[in-house]
Amino acid sequence: MKSNLKIDWASHEAAKYACLNWHYSKCLPVGKLAKVGAWENEKFIGVVIFGRGANNNMLKPFGLEQDDGCELVRIALTKHIAPVSKIMTIAVKFLKKAQPRLQLVVSYADPEQGHHGGIYQACNWIYTGPSGKAIKIFYKGKWSHKKTVDDAGVNQNNLPKKVATGKHRYLMPLDAAMREQIARLAKPYPKRTMRGKEQDAGYPSALGGATPTTTLQTSNN
């Protein structure tokens, strides 16, 4: 079947629906977000979301201010025809066109979820190794990043905590100068784990359908 793919801004409601139904985290990130929606053959299939991320110092090692780059914080998709790598790549280009100042996109693949960053490897992102360890808090039945729980204003004194292993960090430079600057940081790509292979064999169920899709708008609210 042919894929007629459309990329445009997604509303808050559309992004929230996609994250709740089609992403393992089951939540929409907090903070200022750029929500890029994807439609295939006129059906809403999900979002690619960019934000400032949980680490306020994420861009400092590259000599950038917070407004010079962003983190790809969610890819939440239902069943689709186009490869995820294609949808993600077009979404990044769409964002860059809207925000010409951006020089770098950072994203992380969580090995605790069986992820190794295969989609980033397929798009020639630069792998720089694992990020630093992080504190996670067991909140609402799942382990969440400490900053996420902080942002929710929750008292963490009596909540279980653990030190999580670092995530695989990938960089996508958005101009030639940034690519030249970070090229020396490149390390060999990590390989897919057995858990990742098992997850790849499955796929989220198609929850878009006519009923919810008709209420999803393309305004950037």
Give the pLDDT band (50/70/90) at residue 133.
low
pTM: 0.77
Q: What is the CATH number of domain 5-131+167-213?
A: 3.40.630.30
Helix boundaries (H) for the chain: 12-22, 84-98, 118-122, 146-151, 176-182, 194-200, 210-213
Q: pLDDT at position 218, please?
A: 36
> Under a CB-based contact definition with an 8 Å cutoff, are residues 92 and 150 in contact?
no
Span 5-36, pLDDT tens digits = 999 999 999 999 999 999 988 999 888 999 99
> Which residue do the tokens 């940034």 mark?
178
Domain chopping of the chain, boundaries: 5-131+167-213, 134-165
Read off φ and ψ for residue 17, nearest 5 degrees: -60, -45
- The whole-chain average pLDDT of the chain stands at 83
